[in-house]
Copies of this chain bind each other. A is one copy, B any other.
Amino acid sequence: MTHDQISLWVKVQEDKGLDVESVKTRLKNMVIETPSWGYGDSGTRFKVFKQQGVPRNPFEKLEDAAEVQRVTGVCPTVAVHIPWDKVEDYGAFKKHAQDLGLRIGAVNPNLFQDDDYALGSLCNPRAEVRQRALAHMLECVEIMNKVDSNILSLWLADGTNYPGQDDFRKRKHYLMDALTEVYQALPEDARILIEYKMFEPAFYHTDLADWGMAFNYALKLGDKAQVLVDLGHHAQGTNVAHIVSTLLDEGKLGGFHFNNRKYADDDLMVGTIDPYELFLISLELVSGEQDPATSECADNVSYMIDQSHNIEKKIPAMIRSVMNIQTAFAKALLVPREELKQAQEKGDVIRAEFIVKEAFETDVRPLLAMVRQEMGLQPDPLKAYVEGPYDKKILARGIGGQGW
C-alpha cells in the first residue's frame, strides 16, 4: 500500500463528507477475541488432521494468541474452554497472559464431551447428570473469578436425535432451573451469554435451537443474561442481520461467535464464503452504536471468533479472520447514514441499495493500512506473520498438540 494510495483514499472519502478520523478511531478501538481452541487441532467427524506446531498446553495457546495480537493489535483477549484449558494454577495462567500483553476473555464450559452427556447435560433425563453439569457450570464461574473474566459463554449441545426420545417441555424446565442457579452465582459485573444452534450434535431437536429460545431464557433471567450469535448456527436462508438488529433493539445482544459456513456449522474462516452478509451484520452493529437508544448494548457486544480449522494453518487462519472482520466493519463505517435514511424514507429502493453497496465496493485496504501504521503495526498482518520468525519457531512443538 503506497503513500499515494492512502492519501488519495483519504481525499476521495473526505470529498464525500466522511469523517475519516472518527472512522479510524473506531477501528483502532475494536476488540476481537480469539479462542484458545482455535489454535489447537480440530476436524470433522471423519478426521482430525494433525498439524505440526500446534500448542501442547493452554500456555502455548496463549502464546499463539499473543502472536495474533502482535500483528493485528486488536486481539488483546483470549476465550478459554474448560476443561480443555484447565490448569493447576489459574493465577499463573492469568499471569502468563498478562506477560504476553493479553487478558482472559470469556470462559466456555464444556457440556458435550463426557460420556454421561450422551442424552444431554443440563437437560439430561437423569438428575445426577444434570447436577454434574450444573456443578461444571459453577466451577466455570469460579474460574471466571480466578482469571478476571466477566463473560460466561454458554453453548449447550443438548438435544435429542429421535422423535419421542424425550419430553421437550420437561427439558425446558430443567434448563431454566439450572440457568437460574448459574445466574445467581455470576460475579456482580459479569454476564452470561446464551448461544443457540439449530442442529448438531443433536440431530432431531436442540434444546436451545434458535435466537427466540435463547432470548426467552435471557429475558427471564435478567439483565446480566444476553444472547450470543454464532454465524454458523442458523437455518439456510435466515437473515442474521435482522436477528442482530432485533436483539440490539431489545438490549439483549451480548456477543458473537464469528466464522463462516456454506451449509451447516462449518466453522470456516470469517468472511470467506459470504463477505456481504458479514458486512450487513456490521452495518447493524454500527447503526446500533450510533443510536442512543441502543448504544449501551452495542458498545458492550463481545466480538469473538469461533473457528475450527481443519485443513489450513491455525495462526494465519485466525489473522485472516481478524482482517476480514475489520474489513467488513470498516466498510460499514463508510455508509453515509443520513443519505441512506433519506433514500429509505423516500422509498427509493434503487438508491438505498446502491448507497449500501457502494460502501461495500469501496476498497478499505488503504484505510486499514493507515490505521495499522498509526497503531505501530505493519500494514499487512498476514505478511507480518509469514515473514516473522514465529511460524517456524513453533514447528519445534512437533505433531500431536492439543485438540478437541
Contact = CB atoms under 8 A, between A and B. Distances in A.
Contacts of A117: 47
A360 interface: yes
A125 B344 contact: yes
A393 interface: no
Among A164, A238, A350, max chain B CB count under 10 A is at: A164
A389 interface: no
Interface stretch (A65-73, A91-99, A311-319, A370-378): A311-319
A402 B264 CA distance: 28
B172 A249 contact: yes
Given A162-B272, A203-B268, A263-B203, A312 B237 contact: no
A166 B344 contact: yes
A280 interface: yes
Contact of A5 (B8, B163, B241, B317): B8
A274 interface: yes
Interface in A100-128: 112-113, 115, 117-119, 125-126
B239 A209 contact: yes
Contacts of A161: 266, 268, 310-312, 349
B113 A46 contact: yes
A134 B20 CA distance: 43
A157 to B, nearest CB: 6
Contacts of A311: 118-119, 161, 349
A212 interface: yes
A165 B360 CA distance: 15
A44 interface: yes
A212 B209 contact: no
29 contacts: A8-B8, A43-B201, A47-B112, A49-B115, A49-B118, A119-B347, A125-B345, A162-B268, A162-B272, A163-B356, A166-B344, A167-B341, A167-B344, A168-B242, A169-B248, A169-B249, A169-B294, A199-B263, A203-B266, A203-B268, A205-B241, A205-B242, A215-B216, A234-B235, A263-B264, A275-B360, A320-B350, A320-B353, A361-B365
Interface of A: 2, 4-5, 8, 12, 43-47, 49-50, 112-113, 115, 117-119, 125-126, 157, 161-169, 172-173, 198-201, 203-206, 209-213, 215-216, 219, 234-239, 241-242, 245-246, 248-250, 261-264, 266, 268-269, 272-277, 280, 283-284, 287, 291, 294, 308, 310-313, 316-317, 320, 327, 340-341, 344-347, 349-350, 352-357, 360-363, 365, 382
Given A163-B241, A274-B277, 13 more contacts: A5-B12, A43-B45, A43-B201, A44-B201, A47-B113, A126-B345, A162-B268, A167-B341, A198-B237, A198-B263, A199-B263, A210-B212, A235-B236
